[in-house]
Amino acid sequence: MATTHPASQPMAISEHAGPDASTGQAKLGPRLRRLHARIGKAHHRAEGMQFSRALLAGQAEPLQLAALLRALAPAYALLELEAPPLAAALGATALPWADLARTPALRHDLALLAALPATPPSAAAAIWLEQMRGLARQAPHRLMAHVYVRYGGDLSGGQQLAEQAAAILRRHGLPAPGFWAFAGGVPALKQALHDGIEQLVLTEQQEEELLEEAERAFHATQQLLAELADLAPAPPPA
């Protein structure tokens, strides 16, 4: 399902994992630099997948976008319930949870897209959700990797995805999604997220496990993207 990312592709899903991130590597703390170095390859695999390329090209279907938001909603609900106290216990007391929260926007978007046909329950999202539940109980420092990958992506390449998703939905007479819209300024919110992740007080082993889990978080994303590609209509016969 994954393909190489074409050289002519005009934009990437997210700049937050690349060596030339929009914030600039020199402005990133040591943990963020290690995270970026670790997840770069997985990130580029995800952005080269069929659904990712279709969305960035403005060619995804509204039903695929609805399926994406339906799959993400339980995961964000879990993160926004479990992660704040766990992060605080690990020393990250400054994460701007109220500004990061996506659950209200997801509820609003899903209500607006309810007229679209039902989509199959996402097996990939169910597996991912169960993995995160286990991390919340047994390895909360690993859960912080999912916090960074999800919200970091929403604040980076998610802003590009928002433009394409809005255009696709408008062409079909549907409202633009609010999922990628943040009330506060995106650069400041991204910096606050970075600062919060840097605040985590971890052992050397936990630090390595955080990096390892960030790769797993991208793998979960790849599984979901593969499912979404399968929802694309078959091309007309030649």
d(CA 3, CA 54): 12
Residue (of 93, 81, 199, 91) closest to 136 by Cα position: 81
pLDDT digits (tens, 9 = 90+) for 179-238: 999 987 899 999 999 999 999 999 999 999 999 999 999 999 999 999 999 998 765 555
- Please tell me the pTM assigned to this model: 0.88
What is the 8-class DSSP label of residue 233?
Answer: P
d(CA 102, CA 147): 12
pLDDT digits (tens, 9 = 90+) for 69-80: 999 999 999 999
Q: Are 67 and 231 in contact (CB under 8 A)?
A: yes
Say what percent of the chain tops pLDDT 90.
Answer: 78
Name the residue with tokens 């539940």. Answer: 133
Residue (of 83, 86, 73) closest to 126 by Cα position: 73
Categorise residue 173: left if φ over 0, alpha if ψ from -120 to 50, beta otherwise.
left
pLDDT digits (tens, 9 = 90+) for 193-204: 999 999 999 999
Domains contained in the chain, CATH given: 25-229 (1.20.910.10)
pLDDT of 115:
94
**Between vectors from CA 178 to CA 111 and to CA 165, what angle results, nearest 5°?**
100
Query: What's at 16, amino acid-wise?
Result: H
In the chain, how long is the greatest CA-to-CA distance?
Answer: 59
Average pLDDT over residues 122-128: 98
Residue 186: φ, ψ to 5°: -60, -45
pLDDT digits (tens, 9 = 90+) for 48-94: 788 989 999 999 999 999 999 999 999 999 999 999 999 999 999 99
- Binned at pLDDT 50, 70 and 90, residue 45 comes out as confident
Q: In Å, what is the CA distance from 12 to each residue of 28, 150, 179, 212?
A: 20, 16, 19, 23
pLDDT of 122:
97
Tell me which of 20-29, 31-40, 101-110, 178-187 is least confident.
20-29
Average pLDDT over residues 145-153: 97
